[in-house]
Amino acid sequence: MRYEDVYRRSIEQPEAFWAEAAGAIDWETPPERILDYSNPPFRRWFVGGRTNLCHNAVDRHLAQRGDQPALIAVSTETNEQRSYSYRDVHREVNAFAATLAGLGVEEGDRVVIYMPNIAQAAFAMLACARLGAVHSVVFGGFAAPNLALRIDDARPKVLVCADAGMRAGKVIRYKPLVDRALEACAHPPGAVLVVNRGLDDALELQAGRDHDFDRLRQQHEGVEVPVAWVEASHPSYLLYTSGTTGKPKGVQRETGGYAVALALSMRAVYDIGPGQVMFTTSDVGWVVGHSYIVYGPLIAGATSIIYEGLPTSPDPGIWWRLCAEHGVRTLFSSPTAIRVLKKQDPDHIHRHDLSKLQYVFLAGEPLDEPTARWAGETIGKRIIDNYWQTETGWPVLSLLPGVDLKPSKLGSPGLPNLGYRLKLINEVSGEECAAGEKGVLAIVPPLPPGCLSTVWGDDQRFLSSYFSHFKELLYSSLDWAIRDEDGYYFILGRTDDVINVAGHRLGTREIEESASGCALVAEAAVIGAADETKGQVPVVFALLRQSAGDTDGRQQAAESIRARIVDQLGAVAGPARIYLVEALPKTRSGKLLRRSLQALVEQRDPGDLSTLDDPGALDAVKRALEQGSDLKPRKG
């Protein structure tokens, strides 16, 4: 198949294309109509069809592959590993569903899940899907105020949590965070279901509200809960993403379209079929975890690895050892994780038999050329960048090994994925950009199956957040991009990560890419700082590959970084200040906290730091700011 032919059909004949794709999942009632787009930009796919995510992920595989591994749970924090067959998963999910039903959960009810990356988190998600309930997974360890916001917005009947998680050998007690969140809630759930891992010796259960999962589960051992067949547009889950107002947006995902899109993407994008193994290193609390740890691989009849731990513990070869032991075909990770491994001895990779590994997919942030080049040369496998968002639920841009694998271009996540009709829009004129012209990446509605259907409880926010940016009705990704003559897209950064220097608009990503290309630099973050004369000036925070030594060495390193930026982007992009830091603050999903950096530079409150992965990174930035810029001041 030629990519061009399949893609063209997907956007020129979308109803025929998606009707065919819908055949990859089971329907209790087939769709009566493939698309209802009578109320743009709202759309309904597979109208009248009734299906169930849990059935498609578990039950339908029992006859042919009941004894095949479905989920392999590995924790290097607790030194445990367990393989669950599809029959095991079916048993565990039914017990979980019966337990939730015993607490009053019914079709349409919400359930908040606050769990680490363990098998029980996946079982809880699938149990909700089985009941037709709507789950909202909140990343384990989120601060209590942020958890409270999400609880109040979703108004769940039950909250499921673990007693604790672990990170780098440190126990993170979840239950006290839950207790504090519920104290602050206006709409707390009536019941809290606690999965006790035995990590919190001080665990306390509140009588009448809190329930020990194992104790209740024993009452439902061997019970089979009937699948709730729901209409295709029925919400499957809510996943909260940060909003510009400070109130998180509840991305609402439908059921039927999501199942169809994931089934398609497992074949076309990730080239995974029944019995093959996928290892996605994300967390179930993020959209990648939802789509490609839990639902996607299981819908495909594949084996999925769920991993709790660091990429460097017990040693930097742990991921590669798991790939070798379990015959992983596709590894899905992030550029940040690869940069961490880039600093380690490559022998940790080479000592393992990776003959079954075919692809390494990276997403979550732009993949810089030095990291992509190193990964390809060192791992010796095809490195495939792909671009998507919490809102889309599956990739917007990628190469498609399962259809027609095109050549990679360093710095590009590839070509439009099937079903996505894209435009680049000039922010000023509102017109479509020509090849090589920078614009805002937009999706022409109706959005394909699997993308968000609305913002939970707030259709107006759905419209204002995503469809109010252009004179034409388009979904704005809020990301800058360029398309080359061959149709490849290059993501340049967020439209709200733009620096306006004396009227010149510069993307922080462009400057970061240039700085990271300096041989001395391991990673860089760029923000725009307020300036009385120029409006804003670029400020660079750089993490070096090795210590620059004394003050003179630091000054020389900073000058080298500046020289490269000016050489590549012009004098207007020359940073006003460069700080050489020991670490860069990031979220647990690997995204740089640029807004917090900007606030610190401008001596403002850095805002919500609940997603901060390493508090020490913020302290490193504060020390650097106190010591002053490593770049000598320049006039003009």
- pTM, to two decimals: 0.86
Return the number of other C-beta atoms located less than 10 Å from residue 323's C-beta.
26
pLDDT of residue 243: 52
Same domain membership, residue 114 and residue 34: yes
- Inter-residue contact 571 to 564 (CB < 8 Å): no
Q: What is the CATH number of the domain that holds 556?
A: 3.30.300.30
Label the pairing between strands 210-212 and 191-195.
parallel
Q: What is the pLDDT of residue 503?
A: 60
Q: Print the domain residue range for 606.
A: 497-627
Q: What is d(CA 17, CA 523) in angstroms, rounded to the nearest whole number?
A: 42
Residues 507 and 469 in one domain: no
Residue 99 lies in a domain: yes
Helix crossing, 3-12 with 14-21: angle to 10°?
110
| Residues in contact with 13: Cβ distance below 8 Å, sequence separation at least 6, in sequence order | none
Euclidean distance between CA atoms 503 and 176, whole angstroms: 50
pLDDT of residue 502: 67
C-alpha distance from residue 87 to each of 84, 207, 232, 297 (Å) = 8, 34, 26, 16
- Do 250 and 392 lie in a common domain? yes
Asked if residue 259 lies in contact with residue 50, where contact means CB atoms within 8 angstroms, the answer is: no
Domain check: are 220 and 285 in the same one?
Answer: yes
User: Considering the domain boundaries, does residue 45 fall inside one?
Assistant: yes
Q: What is the DSSP letter of 631?
A: S
Q: Are residues 442 and 562 in the same domain?
A: no
Q: Please name the amino acid found at residue 481.
A: A
| Residue 278 within a domain | yes
Task: Indicate left, alpha or beta for 400 from its phi (over 0: left) and psi (-120 to 50: alpha).
Answer: beta
Domain shared by 106 and 212, yes or no: yes
Residue with tokens 């499921």: 160
Q: Judge residue 531's burial from the number of C-beta atoms within 10 Å of its C-beta, 0-12 exposed, 13-18 middle, 19 or more buried.
A: middle
Pairing relationship of beta strands 415-416 and 397-398 according to DSSP bridges = antiparallel
542 residue type, one letter: A
**What pLDDT, on a 0 to 100 scale, did the predictor assign at position 452?**
98
**Same-domain check for residues 25 and 148:** yes
Which helix (H) or strand (E) element contains residue 549?
Answer: none
Residue 604 tokens, joined: 């403002």
Please list the ranges in the chain whose pLDDT falls under 50.
244-245, 636
Domain assignment present for 592: yes
Q: Are 141 and 177 in contact (CB under 8 A)?
A: yes
Q: Is residue 365 part of a domain?
A: no
Q: Are residues 510 and 407 in the same domain?
A: no
When divided into structural domains, the chain yields a total of 2
Model pLDDT, residue 495: 79
Note whether residue 636 is domain-resident.
no
CA atoms within 13 A on the CB side of 421: 14
Q: Are strands 359-362 and 382-385 parallel, antiparallel or unpaired?
A: parallel
Rounded to 5°, the CA angle 389-391-397 comes to 40
530 within domain boundaries: yes
What CATH number does the domain containing 65 carry? 3.40.50.12780
Torsions phi, psi for 149 (to 5 deg): -60, -45
Distance, CA of 613 to CA of 416 (rounded, Å): 32
Assess if residue 334 is contained within a domain: no
Label each residue of 143-199 as H, E or C.
Answer: CHHHHHHHHHHHCCCEEEEECEEEECCEEEECHHHHHHHHHHCCCCCCEEEEECCCC
* Under 8 Å between Cβ of 558 and 631: yes
Q: How far is CA 546 from CA 329, 367, 615, in A?
A: 34, 22, 22
Compute how many other C-beta atoms are within 10 angstroms of the C-beta atom of residue 84: 22
Assess whether 472 and 520 both reside in one domain: no
Both structure tokens of 628: 């002053």
- Give the bridge partners for 443, in sequence order: 422, 475
Domain check: are 150 and 103 in the same one? yes
Q: Where are the alpha helices (DSSP H) in 327-458?
A: 335-342, 347-350, 369-379
Among 412, 445, 478, the domain boundary falls at 478
Residue 157 CA to residue 105 CA, distance in Å, equals 7
What phi and psi, each to the nearest 5 degrees, are found at residue 533? -90, -45
Evaluate whether 37 touches 434 at the Cβ level (below 8 Å): no
- The answer on 554 and 440 residing in a single domain is no
Cβ atoms within 10 Å of 428's Cβ, excluding its own: 8
Residue partners of 21: CB distance under 8 A and separation at least 6? 260, 263, 264, 449
- Contact by Cβ (8 Å): 631, 562: yes
In a shared domain, residues 508 and 394: no
Residues 28, 229: contact at Cβ < 8 Å?
yes
The three-point CA angle 565-570-572 to 5° equals: 100
Extract the tokens encoding 575: 């940073």
DSSP strand pairing (382-385 vs 191-195): unpaired
